[in-house]
Structure 1
Amino acid sequence: MVLKLDLAGSVHHVTILARRPHLVLSIDGRRHVVERLDEAGDGSRQLTIDGEPIAFVRAGSADGVIVRLDGRSFALRRLDAAAEASAAGGGANVVRAPMPGTVIVIHKRVGDHVQRGETIVTIESMKLQMKLDAPRDGEIAEIAAREGEGFDKDAVLARLAAPAEG
């Protein structure tokens, strides 16, 4: 699962690659190892990421988290992919690759009916397999990739038929 985070107006893609023995994240395609999280009594915290200590303070806000690093504050919020696709006007009709990779399994065919959240295709990127799901209920109009085929980030892998106007 790829999390989309808005950090001060810039969108970043974060994937958890491993949780043990350390947290391993892919952030915008770059691998990072989070080795430690220490908390001080004053509310400050320190992470060790890729061997570098990083001191920070965080606080909740109405729509996310405020993080303070090196004297600067950053607003961080998680983006809801389904709401974002709906707001994009028709974006909910496509299944896009969140990062470059290879198609492992195509689970559906053109004409198949799918429900929101049902897996359409499984991909692999950086040795991590990920299932890409239907963004809404509908009918598969196009499968734009083949098993074993490579693709770039944001490539359309499948398309749903436009919803009927009624």
Structure 2
Amino acid sequence: MRYTFKIAGEMVSIAPRSLADELVLAIGDEDYAIAFDHERDGRCTLDINGKRFESWVARDGDDIFLKIDGQYIKVTAFDPRSLAAGSAEGEGSVRAPMPGVVIEVLVAEGDEVVEGAKLMTIESMKLQSTVTAACDGVVRSISVAAGSEFNKDDVLVEIEGHPSPSDA
């Protein structure tokens, strides 16, 4: 299974290759052997492919803040279900990954959002997940409200994407 993280502003796909004797992660097209020793005060010794780093780590919700070798890095973990819920078909059509009910709508029409921004919380089969924006843009319409039910593939939110500088 692949997981998606936003690391220092860049979306990165990571897949565990081995969890046996050592943790090996496929990050992009490269494999990295990772070992770490985490202390209660946030200090962490991190070993990446045999290179040792003294670091600090703190967590705030889905965000992980790292200080490695004097550099600060923000890492945001994305739940695979939320990415599926936020996947787009066409420009900015956020569709339901499964039938369910809306728990909470977190944006309003006219709001500017960035890719990965939380749009709403949904529940399906007693499991709550977050629907996220699939692109940067402006929320043009919201097809559901808190408490409303929806079917698989229903459009939940429409986002009008911002044109890239090369399109202008």
TM-score normalised per structure 1: 0.49
Q: Give the TM-score, by structure 2 length.
A: 0.48
